[in-house]
Amino acid sequence: ARVVVEAGAARVPDPVHGRAGWIAPAVVYGVVPRNFDPPGFAGVAARLDDLRDLGVSALWLSPITGTPNGSFGYEVTDYFDTNPAYGAMAEFRDLVAQAHARGLKVLLDVVPNHTSDQHPYVRDALAHGAASAYRDVYDRDDDGEPTHYFDWTHLPNLNYDHPEVRRFMLEAMVHWVRDGGIE
């Protein structure tokens, strides 16, 4: 999904008519920050000139948000901060600024469908059951049990019928645009 922030308000543009002009000719390079040397944002920043010289016009970063140690990034525990193994938020902002200075776009692979089973909302729901304010932010089957992404029990699906989920995810997306420097 593409979200545009104008005058402080987020909106989803028409995907057919509102496409950004840079997309059609773009050369997008998939970046997994942990695979760079050194790993993380500093390693990616050190290679920006090389990537630009290869004709890359956009970087597509694999998930960079907080996750349990050793995970690949799709097990989100914190939608508002970076994975410490990649660097701090200031280092991420610096990477984005350096990429933009070279004319490179930066795209984020965001995980809005599910969270980690270690996410604070899950932990609260497990600890407090039906009394938890977060119990219903997760999708449930007819028996009231959480559903999971591809039946992976460590990835409970979010319930987008719940207004808190929609508010929370929109707030997270705006955060990366506003505070992360993503355009």
Query: Tell me, what's the pLDDT at 5?
Result: 80
Query: Which tens digit of pLDDT belongs to each residue from 82-102?
Result: 999 999 999 999 999 999 999
The residue ranges of the chain whose pLDDT is under 50 are none
Query: Tell me, what's the pLDDT at 19?
Result: 67
Q: Position 58: which residue type? A: A
pTM above 0.95, yes or no: no
- Note the maximum CA span of the chain: 56
Which residue in 126, 3, 148, 135 sits closest to 75, CA to CA?
A: 148
Instruction: Give burial (CB, 10 Å; 0-12/13-18/19+) of 175.
Output: middle
CA distance 159 to 135: 10
User: How far from 152 is each of 9, 95, 155, 156, CA to CA, in Å?
Assistant: 35, 33, 6, 8
User: How far from 90 is each of 6, 96, 151, CA to CA, in Å?
Assistant: 24, 10, 36
User: How far from 79 is each of 73, 128, 150, 170, CA to CA, in Å?
Assistant: 11, 22, 21, 11
Query: Tell me, what's the pLDDT at 20?
Result: 72
